[in-house]
Amino acid sequence: MRRGPLLLTFLSGAAIAALFFIPHYKAQAANSMLLEWTLVVYAFALILGSISLWNSHARKVRNRAEGWGFSVVTLVSLLAITALGVWKGVGEGTPVDWIYNTVNSPLASTMFALLAFVIASAAFRAFRARSVEATLLLVTAIVMMIGRVSIGELISHRLPGITEWLLDVPNLAAKRAIAIGVGLGAVSTALKIILGIERSYLGRS
């Protein structure tokens, strides 16, 4: 039963990987066609996602599960935005644009801005010099936090230079190592999937 999906994965993976390196116009035309297919898959994924969202929240409302009121808001918003978008369009000056600018945009920004408060409280309670390593991290963090903002220049003209060195030398060395490791890991995972060694994406047997 699993031979079909495995064969399809092998052929698609190997073909797309090969097409990346073949500059011939016929290979590139085939590549473009495969890309257009991917766009169609994306479009279906969007429909699938919307249906899944609807089902999941409708179930919560039906069962009066905890927080079902929020599910009602989600469902009403989903319907209203879709209907308004189809009816009036999504360009500048449309109701969808107005809702986006006055509801979605401030709400999303506010959620992210709350991080500053949580981080400040967490830093006060948890960022403690309990060991040599923690002290090293603490001192580096303080230098970075002050040196990377405008006020750092007022405190000492050397601070921005120190932060630049920290970023360019120790940080960059570690980043390079991580990037190479991640790259090799990605290649090995891709090869394992294409060759059928990694099969978890097929689900449980």
Partner 1 sequence: MTWVRQLLAIDRRIIFLLVGAGAALPLLFPLNLPVAVTPRVRAAYDAIDALPPGSKVLLSMDYEPDIMAELFPMSVAVLRHCFRKHVQVIAMTLYPAGTGLGERAISTAAKAEGAILNRDYAWLGYKSGFQVVMIGIGENLRGMYPVDFYGTPLDSIPVTRHVNSYAQLQMVINLSGSSAADYWIQFAQGRYHAPLVIGCTAVMATDYYPYLSSKQLLGLIGGMKGAAEYERLIDTFGDARRGMDAQSLVHLIVVGLVIVGNAALFISKRSGGDGGGPASGSMTR
* Residues within the interface to partner 1 (CB under 8 A): 20, 28, 31-32, 35-36, 38-39, 42-43, 46, 90-92, 97, 100-101, 104-109, 111-113, 116-130, 138, 141-142, 145-146, 148-154, 160, 164, 167-168, 171-172, 175-176, 179
Pick 8 or 145: Cβ nearer partner 1: 145
Output 71 or 152, the one with its CB closest to partner 1: 152
CB of 179 to partner 1, least distance (A): 6
d(C-alpha 39, C-alpha 54), whole Å: 23
Identify which of residues 13 and 196 has a Cβ nearer to partner 1 in the complex.
13
Q: How far is the CB of 113 from partner 1 (least distance, A)?
A: 7
Are the C-beta atoms of 34 and 8 separated by less than 8 Å?
no
Residue closer to partner 1 by CB (options 59, 158) is 158
Distance, CA of 198 to CA of 129 (rounded, Å): 43
CA neighbours within 13 Å on the CB side: how many for 69?
Answer: 0
Q: By the 8 A CB rule, do 8 and 194 touch?
A: no
Least separation in angstroms between residue 195's CB and partner 1 is 22
Alpha helices in 63-104 (DSSP H): 68-88, 95-99
Element (H, E) at 9: helix 3-21
Q: How near is the Cβ of 49 to partner 1 at its closest, in Å?
A: 11
Q: Which CB sits closer to partner 1, 63 or 121?
A: 121
Report how far apart, in Å, the C-alpha atoms of 184 and of each of 172, 181, 190 are.
18, 5, 10
